[in-house]
Chain A
Amino acid sequence: MPLTPMDIYKLLPKTNCKKCGEQTCMSFAFKLLNREKKIEDCKPLFEEKRYEKQKEKILEILKPLEKATETGLVVNDELCVGCGNCVVVCPIHVEKDPYGMAIGNGPNIDNPILRVENGKVKVCNLSICRRYGKNRILCVVCRENCPSNAISFLEG
């Protein structure tokens, strides 16, 4: 199950104290998932004893986030069969490599986002993924065309 801002919000102090620099706990939860904030920025959660249990829970549910790439894209190695669907459908690959990945072949460009290596997809260069950076959009094209459900996104 992808992690939603709501899952995080529920465990925050919900006091809207603004110590994190955000107007509300909800917007903090959003930014946390987008990696614009760190959980440690919520001072009350760490300083006040009464949030101890919530804090532990939050740290627990955030664990997968550490493993995830900066765009929240996670590939499950166990499930991937290296079919290359995700490589071929990625709109960025299509744009940058019209005679390689766009027509079903291996990459002709140096730094594709995803490439198949040793039979599994590897995440190589997220800086050009549409989910990355300031103007990010919630692209799900690669996940939608994976036959083995090997791709997931933390942010749904």
Chain B
Amino acid sequence: MICTGCSCLCNDVVVNGTRIMNACIKGYRHIAGAKENRSEAKIENRTVSIDEAIEKAIEILKNSRNPIIFGLDTTTLEAQSLAIRLAEKLECYIDDNSSFCLGEIVEAIIKKDVPSTTLDDVRNKAYVVIYWGANPYTSLPRHMSKFTYYPRGEKRPRGYEEDRYLVVVDVRKSETAMLAKKNAKFLKVEKDDELVDSFLLAVDGKAGKFGSEVGVILKEMKKSDFNVLFAGLGLKYGISNMDRFFEMIKKINEKVAPLYLLPAGFHANMRGFNETLFEKTGFVNKYSFREKRSEKEFEFMELLKKECVDAALIVGTDPLKSLPFEIAKKFMKIKKIVIDPKTSLTSKVADVVIPSAISGVECGGKMVRSDGVRFKLEPLEEKEINDVLIFKKILEGV
């Protein structure tokens, strides 16, 4: 089956009774723990039937002046399309976790502002592999062994031993950085901007703060016609100007050697959401169907902060877990509908809870891996009630 535990969508997982082979611990918990902490259909904490919960959700959405649909990163492309249709019909806001995750990077890639590639090509061809602000050890446990540094590839038959060069950029010596031993470099940076500047200067033959390190890395890149940079959350939060970072990638491509950009993963189908919304609207997230544009102010958090929404339909995510206290207080004041197979902090305080199926384990559909490659899921069972069915019913009702 295909594991939907993270955006690696590992396609070599085998389930043999209670034995789950090849999935990492994160994937194992995702698959084996599927039956734990299940949510139940609820209205204001009263147990109800699923149909009643859906009816109530429709009523809330109909009566809301400014609703938002938020989440959707762990559901299928099919459900995401329906959610977008619903947002269009309600003329409301729609956003996902990518607006405070790697949405900007995915957007630049989808718009072809920067060159990108697939993980299969990375395995077969990549020489210099850079992880910038990313620690796949925790977020994407098999990323390095399945796609990037360790595996042998068509043009890299000796794998990490001789045919790859690993660079890890981080504010601390992460677990990933510990693996930067032979043919590798770990760069500890306080300010990511300084490293971007150093690269930009070095490309023009000048020396910046990290002059010598950057020099070595660029020299390694020149040895190959295929190098790749994985950008993680650390980069997104460490950098003040993302455009300069994109400029750096472009300049290296023009003047040094081919360097492709890929996001260092996230929730299973976050890229799918970005792509689906992009096809429909030309924007990847934080979109208002009423105003027909995407704005910083339309981010879920910003809308809550400014009290611009009066109801939220939350799908497969747990915002309450990470909202700052002041914003959480405002979130508590609006109507909350949660569609989720599992209980969460958010589902515990929601006005309506609609239990669903775990995409990829309990229901099929399609998802997009972090590199844009689409996969048809191979679930272990097909539950009748899943996100697609729930969205269909809500769409009919509103």
**Which residues of A pack against B, CB within 8 Å?**
80-85, 87-89, 94, 98, 102-106, 115-120, 144-145, 147-148
Contact = CB atoms under 8 A, between A and B. Distances in A.
A120 B28 CA distance: 9
A35 B175 CA distance: 33
Nearest to B19: A117
B142 A118 contact: no
A83 B142 contact: yes
A104 B142 CA distance: 9
Interface in B125-159: 137, 141-142, 144-147, 150-153, 159
A109 B20 CA distance: 17
Contacts of A80: 25
A85 B146 CA distance: 8
Contact of A148 (B14, B150, B175): B175
A83 B145 contact: yes
B7 to A, nearest CB: 16
B125 to A, nearest CB: 13
A115 B178 CA distance: 22
A114 to B, nearest CB: 12
Contacts of A82: 23-28, 141-142
A97 to B, nearest CB: 11
A40 B281 CA distance: 77
B183 to A, nearest CB: 12
A85 B28 contact: no
Contact of B152 (A87, A102, A120, A148): A102
B150 A119 contact: no
Given A81-B141, A104-B123, 4 more contacts: A102-B151, A106-B14, A118-B20, A147-B175
B22 interface: yes
Given A88-B151, A147-B179, A104 B29 contact: no
A105 B25 contact: no
B141 A103 contact: no
Contacts of A81: 24-26, 137, 141
Contacts of A120: 25, 28
Nearest to A141: B161
B160 interface: yes
Nearest to A105: B12
A83 B137 contact: yes
A87 B123 CA distance: 16
Q: Is the interface of B mostly helix, strand, loop or mixed?
A: mixed
8 contacts: A83-B144, A88-B159, A94-B152, A103-B153, A105-B12, A105-B22, A118-B32, A144-B181
A105 to B, nearest CB: 4
A116 B137 contact: no
Nearest to B124: A103
A102 B23 CA distance: 16
Interface residues of B, number: 35
What 4 pairs across the A-B complex have the smallest Cβ distances?
A119-B28, A106-B22, A104-B151, A119-B25
A98 B14 contact: no
Given A106-B12, A145-B179, A147-B137, A88 B145 contact: yes
A116 B150 contact: no
A45 B320 CA distance: 65
B21 interface: yes
A82 B20 CA distance: 11
B343 interface: no
Nearest to B177: A147
Contacts of A106: 12-14, 21-22
Contact of A85 (B22, B25, B145): B145
A119 B144 contact: no
A147 B29 CA distance: 20
A89 B160 contact: yes
A89 B150 contact: yes
A98 B179 CA distance: 23
Interface string B172-200: 00011011010000000000000000000
A105 B152 CA distance: 11
A82 B145 CA distance: 10
Nearest to B178: A147
A87 B151 CA distance: 10
B144 A85 contact: yes
Given A83-B142, A148-B175, A119 B20 contact: yes
Contacts of A87: 145
A148 B137 contact: yes
Interface string B292-310: 0000000000000000000
Nearest to A102: B152
Given A119-B27, A119-B29, A104 B21 contact: no
Nearest to B27: A119
A85 B148 CA distance: 11
Nearest to A147: B175
Contacts of B181: 144
Contact of A103 (B21, B151, B160): B151
Given A94-B152, A103-B123, A84 B25 contact: no
A116 B32 contact: no
